């Protein structure tokens, strides 16, 4: 196993990932709320459809972005074991996307 | 508030009360799981309760499980999925019932957490505590199963992971719950994407569910503080048994 991580490093990393997740879920909720409000006010318009769709896509993309940032961070720190593990998770998620687009 | 995503309640509600197909209910629920995971992890980041390294290792197994579950969900009949849901609800109730108040933490401040263990500030004893992770293969297996059920049933899978990490692998329950909450977003995303691609995710129904769950988890955090943990667990067990009974009843028709 690799040496235990220095705790200050990981704390900064944890906060950065937390911010990323917070921003992602906030942006997605804003899109969903706006899309829903528009639907209630004026149905049958293209704009809310696009807002709702982008809200859901943002929601699903947020955890994927978190994994991608982790993989990048581990690679930059030359922590190859964890770079490889997060890389595998990322590949599995891309396999989901590929299966969805098929 | 109990380290569970809430899908155990939302799926039966959508399926039984609103009459949606279980697949659609699962897809909507997975979206709320992602939202809950992101919100909770964003709020907890910095407290060092989330074991990021352990989470990343287990995600390899859990996402593989969710991918498989998402791909095979359409092979199961509605009633088979409902029966499976009932079994999982009963097992969860049993797990909550049997959870004794054991502690996995080491109080020696010089103790080494090892490659995957961790340290955090424990509010109960008001000191920094250390834990080690044991039996990693068991955790990987539980994570794979959790990911699989997550996709099939629309739940987060914390139900399987938190007890497994706590009882088999030596992770303190608060760290296990935080790490599980951190992971379920990725697990649920793997499943939700596949449902979305199949057209099983109606945006107009998912939007209010996602927004409502976020309001609910915020309110739950406020309320849970004032209620004794034991009452919460009893309430959870009662609801789970009712849910299981309802699902078995529906699948029999």
Give residue-wise pLDDT tens across range B101-111: 545 555 555 56
Which of B60, B188, B190 is the closest to A88 by Cβ?
B60
A83 and A75 in contact (C-beta within 8 Å)?
A: yes
Q: Does A73 touch chain B (CB under 8 A)?
A: no
The whole-angstrom separation of Cα B9 and Cα A31 is 25
DSSP string over A65-88: HHHHHHHHHHHHTT-HHHHHHHHH
pLDDT band at residue A67 under the 50/70/90 scheme: very high
Over 70: is that where the pLDDT of B149 sits? yes
**Per mean pLDDT, which range of B86-95, B103-112, B229-238 is the poorest?**
B103-112
Give residue-wise pLDDT tens across range B103-148: 555 555 556 666 677 777 666 666 677 787 877 888 888 888 888 8
In whole angstroms, how far apart are CA B70 and each of A39, A55, B28, B88, B120?
30, 21, 13, 18, 35
Q: List Cβ neighbours of B53 (8 Å cut-off, separation of 6 or more).
A: A5, A10, A82, B115, B116
Over 90: is that where the pLDDT of A14 sits? no
Over 60: is that where the pLDDT of B41 sits? yes
Q: List Cβ neighbours of B214 (8 Å cut-off, separation of 6 or more).
A: A25, A29, B35, B36, B39
Considering only alpha carbons, which residue of chain A is nearest residue B120? Answer: A7
Mean pLDDT for all residues in chain A: 84
What pLDDT score was predicted for residue A4?
A: 47
Which of 26-55 (A) contact B at CB < 8 A?
A: 28-29, 32-33, 35-36, 39, 49, 52-53, 55
Most confident of A6-10, A38-42, B104-108: A38-42
Q: Would you tell me the crossing angle of helices B78-98 and B229-252 to the nearest 10 degrees? A: 160
Q: How far apart are the first and last CA of chain A?
A: 39
What ipTM describes this predicted complex? 0.86
Bridge-partner residues for B131, per DSSP? Answer: B118
More confident residue, B36 or B168: B36
> What residues in B contact A49, CB-CB < 8 Å?
203
Binary contact (B211, A33; C-beta < 8 A): yes
Binary contact (B67, A95; C-beta < 8 A): yes
Share of chain A above pLDDT 90, in %: 33
Over 60: is that where the pLDDT of A6 sits? no
């Amino acid at each position: 196993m690799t040496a235990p991580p220095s705790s200050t490093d990981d704390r900064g990393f944890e906060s950065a990932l937390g911010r990323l997740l917070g921003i992602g879920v906030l942006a997605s909720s804003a899109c969903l709320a706006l899309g829903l409000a528009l639907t209630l006010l004026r149905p049958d318009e293209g704009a809310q459809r696009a807002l709702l769709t982008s809200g859901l896509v943002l929601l699903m993309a947020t955890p994927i972005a978190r994994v991608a940032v982790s993989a990048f961070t581990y690679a930059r720190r030359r922590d190859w074991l964890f770079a490889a593990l997060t890389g595998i998770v990322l590949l599995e998620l891309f396999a989901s996307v590929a299966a969805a687009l098929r | 508030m109990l380290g569970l995503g809430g899908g155990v309640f939302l799926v039966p509600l959508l399926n039984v009360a609103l009459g949606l197909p279980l697949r659609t209910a699962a897809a909507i629920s997975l979206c709320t799981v992602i939202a809950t995971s992101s919100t909770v992890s964003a709020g907890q980041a910095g407290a060092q309760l989330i074991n990021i390294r352990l989470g990343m290792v287990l995600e390899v197994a859990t996402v593989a499980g969710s991918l498989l579950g998402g791909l095979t969900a359409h092979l199961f009949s509605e009633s088979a999925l409902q029966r499976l849901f009932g079994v999982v609800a009963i097992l969860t109730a049993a797990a909550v019932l049997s959870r004794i108040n054991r502690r996995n933490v080491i109080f020696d401040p010089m103790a080494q957490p090892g490659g995957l263990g961790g340290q955090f500030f424990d509010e109960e004893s008001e000191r920094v505590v250390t834990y080690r992770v044991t039996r990693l293969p068991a955790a990987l297996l539980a994570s794979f199963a959790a990911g699989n059920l997550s996709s099939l049933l629309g739940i987060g899978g914390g139900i399987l992971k938190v007890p497994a990490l706590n009882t088999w692998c030596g992770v303190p329950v608060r760290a296990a719950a935080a790490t599980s909450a951190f992971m379920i977003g990725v697990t649920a995303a793997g499943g939700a994407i596949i449902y979305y691609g199949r057209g099983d995710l109606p945006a107009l129904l998912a939007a209010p569910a996602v927004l409502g769950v976020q309001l609910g988890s915020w309110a739950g955090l406020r309320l849970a503080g004032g209620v004794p943990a034991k009452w919460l667990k009893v309430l959870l067990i009662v609801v789970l048994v009712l849910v299981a009974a309802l699902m078995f009843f529906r699948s029999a028709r």
